[in-house]
Structure 1
Amino acid sequence: MTVYVAMDDTDNLNSRGTGRLARSVAAALAEEYEVFGVTRHQLYVNDAIPYTSHNSCAVLHLPHAEKQDIPAIFEMTEQMMLDDFVEGSDPGLAVASASQVTPALLAFGKDAKSKVLTQEMARSLAKNLDIRLKGLGGTEDGVIGSMAGIGLARAGNDGRFLQVGRIREITGLCTAEELLEAGIDAIITRDGRQVTKGIIEAPEGKSVKPCPIGGWVVLIVDEQDGHIIPVKRD
């Protein structure tokens, strides 16, 4: 059973972003649990919602953790987030098993991409679903994005991977074969053609950003004048 660890609003304009912190937490948790990957999920950008730069949350996917592991996972993650706390951030943390994600939480995640939600809504939902949720400083508004992240990650068709397999080890120009061996399940063009060979022209020093689509790790690409360009999706 998969356990999801979601964090939101952990940074300010001068600190490392939530994605980097999430990868650090993933590395620590990987000493005791299998970590499949870390996904980034874009939330609603609106003047009524305070955010640092892009209003996104990050979710760690632990595919073989059990519900009884959640207290230990939560405690370890909470401590790392508190140790990394920066003034001006409003962090929130949520940890849940796949079995705790009901249609109500899936809907909450979807709504968080296009509507202004409240802490009260997030906390009530967590209480009703028996999900561990906590604000870790500031206004604690991060509880909203962290709950949304759980729903979006469980739905399996949102966001993009910040980390999965060995993709972060491969930067710049690389072959389709290298990426498929590194943890990407499929490389496809926007019009549905599958790419299994050729050079993928990622920016120098950057790794590609595949997406979770229907339970697959999928890299979307554009073909332009014989060049295969990876698409970075929100």
Structure 2
Amino acid sequence: MKFYLCIDDTDNLDSIGTGTIAEQIQEKIIRQGYGPCSLVTRHQLYIHEDIPYTSHNSSMCFYGEAPDDALATIIDLATKHLDTVAAVGSDPGLCVLAYDDSCHYDELMEFGIQAKQTILTKDDAMACARNHQLHLSEHGGTGQGIIGALAGVGLRLFGCDGEIKGALKNAVINQSYTVADLKNLPEVEQVLDLTSKEPLADTTLIRLGNRSKTVLYRHHYVLFVRQDKNNQYVTIPKAEIRQLGEHFYV
């Protein structure tokens, strides 16, 4: 079984972040003997004054592999962890999907895309969840986090949204690496030119001039780079990566 798991709205300004909690759940799943699991992706959702969020309104998602009869155990592990560590004042939501190759998830992916553009409700989320027979649950507060949790699964399935949590943490700023070197990092599968979106040769040198991020693009972990005034390829700052928007990635 391939499963997708996403959480949202688990933190407050003083607590550990939702991404860290997602990684803790992932670690518990692996200790249970399941896996492997993917890296965690951060999915930016709609920012609006009528939507409560801690700082960025983003959900955290990963997928993994497990025996066909493990779904209930995975949900139980995630539920107990959320109930233990979710911050006071948060409105946590959990979504778990047992992926089925024979199913069509267009509605679920569209829900995720809409969650980046407009205000959705818990009723919207529950209706979509029922249509796909997936697990969606509230874990405190208003339970508003179920919207982002469902959206995160949809966006991860979509495959052209989200940044990789902790990307390039093992690379050194202001040093140059070949594309082949970068692709040895777990969070880099491809290095693409920002303008052409074409892959660069393994021998191409890339200068890490800033703390950049890899993103989920066409279901791959991608580092986008561009040429500077000296025609040398350099990484793109994290803040600029976050401003590219969903239309760039399609």
TM-score, scaled to structure 2: 0.83
Identify unmatched segments of 5+ residues in structure 1: none
8 Å contact kept, 1:186–1:217: yes
How large is the Cα RMSD of the aligned pairs? 2.0
Q: Distance in 2 between matches of 1:161 and 1:187?
A: 14
Aligned match for 2:112, one of 109, 113, 136: 109
Per-residue CA deviations over 1:92-121 (Å, capped at 9, x if unaligned) read 000002326622111111110001000111
Q: Distance in 1 between matches of 2:58 and 2:114?
A: 14
Q: CA deviation at 1:209?
A: 2.0
Aligned residue for 2:73?
72
Shift in alpha-carbon separation, 1:138–1:4, aligned structure 2, 3 A: same
Shift in alpha-carbon separation, 1:80–1:170, aligned structure 2, 3 A: farther
Spell out structure 1 runs of 4+ moving beyond 6 A: none
Per-residue CA deviations over 1:41-82 (Å, capped at 9, x if unaligned) read 0000011101110000000111x3355322111111111111
Q: CA deviation at 1:90?
A: 0.5
Q: Distance in 2 between matches of 1:77 and 1:96?
A: 13
Q: Distance in 2 between matches of 1:231 and 1:101?
A: 36
8 Å contact kept, 1:101–1:151: no
8 Å contact kept, 1:44–1:116: yes
Q: Distance in 1 between matches of 2:181 and 2:28?
A: 27
Amino acid at match of 2:235: I
Aligned residue for 1:141?
144
Number of aligned pairs? 228
Q: CA deviation at 1:227?
A: 5.2
Q: Secondary structure at the match of 2:165?
A: strand
Amino acid at match of 2:69: Q
Q: Percent identity?
A: 30
Q: Distance in 2 between matches of 1:20 and 1:101?
A: 31
Shift in alpha-carbon separation, 1:27–1:53, aligned structure 2, 3 A: same
Identify unmatched segments of 5+ residues in structure 2: 243-250
Q: Residues 14-53 of structure 1: matches in 2 within 5 Å? A: 14-31=14-31, 32=33, 33-53=35-55
Shift in alpha-carbon separation, 1:137–1:73, aligned structure 2, 3 A: same
Q: CA deviation at 1:168?
A: 3.8
Q: CA deviation at 1:144?
A: 0.4
Q: Distance in 2 between matches of 1:101 and 1:4?
A: 15
Aligned residue for 2:127?
124
Shift in alpha-carbon separation, 1:174–1:146, aligned structure 2, 3 A: farther
Aligned residue for 1:189?
193
Q: Secondary structure at the match of 2:192?
A: strand
Q: CA deviation at 1:37?
A: 1.4
Q: Residues 203-218 of structure 1: matches in 2 within 5 Å? A: 203=210, 206=211, 208-218=212-222
Per-residue CA deviations over 1:150-205 (Å, capped at 9, x if unaligned) read 110011111111158xx5433434513322112322111212253333243153xx
Alignment of 1:154 onto 2:153 = no
Shift in alpha-carbon separation, 1:66–1:121, aligned structure 2, 3 A: farther
Q: Distance in 2 between matches of 1:38 and 1:79?
A: 20
Return 99-108 or 140-149, whichever deviates more. Answer: 99-108
Aligned match for 1:229, one of 220, 231, 235: 235
Amino acid at match of 2:21: L
Shift in alpha-carbon separation, 1:182–1:70, aligned structure 2, 3 A: same
Shift in alpha-carbon separation, 1:128–1:43, aligned structure 2, 3 A: same
